[in-house]
Chain A
Amino acid sequence: MSVNLTLLAVMGALYACGIYLLLERSLTRVLLGLMLLANATNLLILATGGYAGLAPFYAKDTPAQDYNDPLPQALILTSIVISFAVTAFMLGIIYRTWVLARQDEIQDDVEDLRVAETPSFDAEDDAEIPMETSEFPLTMVGGDGRSVSDQALTRPGGESAGSTVAAGAKRIDAIDAAAEEQPGSQNVTPGPEGGVK
């Protein structure tokens, strides 16, 4: 079966440009990329029908190279209609992005960024709490050799906090580590929507 080389070369070029544009961050370029991909595929389907210029004629004993198969063209029609609808919808979305954000760019996922920024240290599970929480307090010794269990409950006036505790990468006051479970704790930094540690 002979194949139209020009058609194939055009198809290859369309695929290459389409994939290149698809990888851009601008939505309009992405849309153009998708349109090129769809049209390249239409050419591919057309190529399966046989050489151009032959009659779409079918009789049982006609050899395959002597007629053009009309079915791929019907398939292309369907695919054109579908890609037309999708293009129209994408244009609507791009316009909406422009209205909302005044930019025509793919935006980052906020929740993904949050997970990416979450340190492996979880204040609730991983903090070493030197506080005595039982009803019968024993004197506990903090990292600096002083007792912590009594003084930590009352924050010393002013800036001078009592002993500190290693909490992942940073050091926090023992009182904050102990008070982590309570509302208003300073061990966690509340985000604007909550849930950001």
Chain B
Amino acid sequence: MNIASFAPLAVVLPILGAALTFVLIRHSRAQRTVSIALLSLTLALECLLLASVWEGGTAAVNIGGWLPPWGIVMVVDQFSSLMLVVSSAVSLAVLVYATGQGMADGDHDAPVSIFHPTYLILVAGVSNAFLSGDLFNLYVGFEILLTASYVLMTLGGTGPRIRAGVTYVVVSVVSSVLFLISIAMVYGATGTVNMADLAIKLADLDPGTKTLLHVMLLVAFGIKAAVFPLSFWLPDSYPTAPAPVTAVFAGLLTKVGVYAMVRTETLLFPGDSLNTPLMVAALLTMVVGILGALAQSDIKRLLSFTLVSHIGYMVFGLAMSSVAGLGAAVFYVAHHITIQTSLFLVTGLIERRGGSSSIDRLAGLAKLSPLLALLFFIPAMNLAGIPPFSGFLGKVGLMQAGIELGTPLAYTLVIGGVLTSLLTLLAVARVWNRAFWRKPSDAEHPDPVLLAPRETSDTGRRGGRNNVTLLPRTMVGSTLGLVLLGVSLTVFAGPLFKVSDQAAADMLDRSSYIQAVLGEETAVPLILTSGGGK
């Protein structure tokens, strides 16, 4: 019995947990225990999955015993299992953080008790999207995670959240409709939605139809991944959600879009037909995103803009369609999920400690809480790409691949990447200077909690109640865990880069994926490129 045949449990366990926590809706303690236990179990299973494909290879599971291309398949390869492990580790940390916040503030209010079931459904949707070997199942995975995210986004139903939620829901539904239209067109053109089967059948289509389908899918995924002209919904909607929700959205949801783009580009439409527009989009995503970040004074909004900007790096790696570029992009996705989520969690802590998330109002946090300063500093430097952190390594990988490619556009992107990295440093340094280094008396309208003497600093007023723990141990602990995970990505960058490169080579070669799904004797069509750019 192969461990990969347990892959569907990565989806089933969180859904089971959602059902259980929904039954236990009145018992918040039992709810917490069940959701954390089941998510840990899922994470352990996914680590086993990753270990089983660590040396390479692809495994496919036929759900219900239906043979592909008719039945639904789930495919475990290095890329998907790596994404599963990183996403589950991150969502576990965020779950612990959220329960810590709930325990500190008292979560007896009705809306919060639906947090656990909804959150677990979100995790199930993300796992389903990563594992899916079939375009329609990918759509279902997207819908599961999106529907859960609508609920999480508008949790509590306050004015700003509803306002942001409307934007988010409408944009997401439009992108889903586009995805569904593309699926219908793909099915109309080829008669299959199985991705391995599509990889073979799409090769026989005439170039016009093929380009149409390709562009449709990329636009649908581009909205979800927040690639430049389609990214404006993100900074508008993410910052208003509760801190743990924003953190998990920032870490996971856009990356599912990136994952889908990678699969489309490598498996379904290999070759370099759309590489030039993708590269231009990547450049604009990087530069426009980071310029937006510099104009913000709210840390959550600033981070949302850096999130958009750094999606550009991943698209850059993808657009090169070389092993080095795609490998660096895979590494960068894993790095960015961890770092961006920990930054949003720290921002939640900053908001708790300093009474605001606006850098005009914050000050003196380095003195008030050195631990918080450290927790912010490490991922911030990591995001900006300061050596020796994983952000630096990922960016160096991308730059090397770009220079290896050697076209003028690739060089422009390398320069754009370095510029974006510097501007990211400027953006996070602004936060650091204002929120952590200057004196509290320099801030505009500082929260009284910043000016209070240090002795009373572990409790304060929050939400109209006195003596609330400002930095609960669970919240700090989970953030610390995630920051350490980010640092360990740096420490274990060697093996990780090796796996990413191998995953990239496998994805570009395609034979491992196609033969795992359709059988060993399947012939893999040759990849046609327009120029000698490979």
Contact = CB atoms under 8 A, between A and B. Distances in A.
Nearest to B169: A90
B188 A48 contact: yes
A34 B170 contact: yes
B219 interface: no
B105 interface: no
Contact of A44 (B184, B359, B442): B184
A45 B187 contact: yes
Given A22-B170, A38-B177, A183-B441, A72 B140 contact: no
Contacts of B236: 109, 112
Interface residues of A, number: 42
Instruction: Say whether chain A's binding surface is mostly helix, strand, loop, or mixed.
Output: helix
Contacts of A72: 184, 187
A65 B269 CA distance: 28
Interface string A25-37: 0010010001001
A93 B180 contact: no
Contacts of B188: 47-48
Given A112-B236, A190-B444, A45 B184 contact: yes
A194 B162 CA distance: 23
A75 interface: yes
Nearest to B146: A86
Given A89-B147, A93-B165, A111-B301, A34 B173 contact: yes
Contact of A96 (B136, B157, B191, B359): B157
Contacts of B264: none
B83 interface: no
B151 interface: yes
Contact of A100 (B147, B162, B187, B297): B162
Contacts of B239: 111
A85 interface: yes
Interface of A: 22, 27, 30, 34, 37-38, 41, 44-45, 47-48, 69, 71-72, 75, 78-79, 82, 85-86, 89-90, 93, 96-97, 100-101, 106-107, 109, 111-112, 115, 118, 181, 183, 188, 190, 193-195, 197
Interface in B281-325: 295-298, 301
A100 to B, nearest CB: 5
Given A22-B174, A41-B181, A45-B187, A109 B163 contact: yes
A109 B162 CA distance: 12
* Chain B CB within 10 Å, residue with most, of A75, A93, A188: A93
A86 B162 contact: no
B532 interface: no
A27 to B, nearest CB: 7
Interface string B179-206: 0110111011001000000000000000
Contacts of B173: 34, 37-38, 86
A16 to B, nearest CB: 14
B220 to A, nearest CB: 12
B444 A195 contact: yes
B523 interface: no
B296 A48 contact: no
A84 to B, nearest CB: 11
A68 to B, nearest CB: 13
Contacts of B351: none
Contacts of B164: 109
B162 A93 contact: yes
Interface residues of B, number: 46
A86 B181 contact: no
Given A45-B180, A188-B444, A75 B136 contact: yes
B177 A41 contact: yes
A188 B442 CA distance: 13
Nearest to B153: A93
A100 B166 CA distance: 14
Contact of A194 (B150, B174, B358): B358
Contacts, number: 108
Interface of B: 136, 140, 143, 147, 150-151, 154, 157-159, 162-167, 169-170, 173-174, 176-177, 180-181, 183-185, 187-188, 191, 236, 239, 295-298, 301, 356, 358-361, 441-442, 444-445
A194 B356 contact: yes
B156 to A, nearest CB: 10
13 contacts: A22-B170, A34-B177, A41-B177, A44-B185, A72-B187, A75-B184, A89-B147, A96-B162, A107-B163, A109-B164, A188-B444, A194-B358, A194-B361
B166 A106 contact: yes
Contact of A195 (B151, B154, B361): B361
Contacts of A71: 187
Contact of A89 (B151, B301, B445): B151
A191 B240 CA distance: 19
A101 B151 CA distance: 20
A109 B168 CA distance: 13
A100 B159 CA distance: 6
B181 A44 contact: yes
B184 A86 contact: no
Nearest to A90: B169
Chain A CB count within 10 A is highest, among B136, B180, B297, B298, for B180
With a 10 A CB-CB cut-off, give which of B162, B169, B184, B188 has the most chain A CB atoms: B184
Contacts of A190: 444-445
A48 B445 contact: no
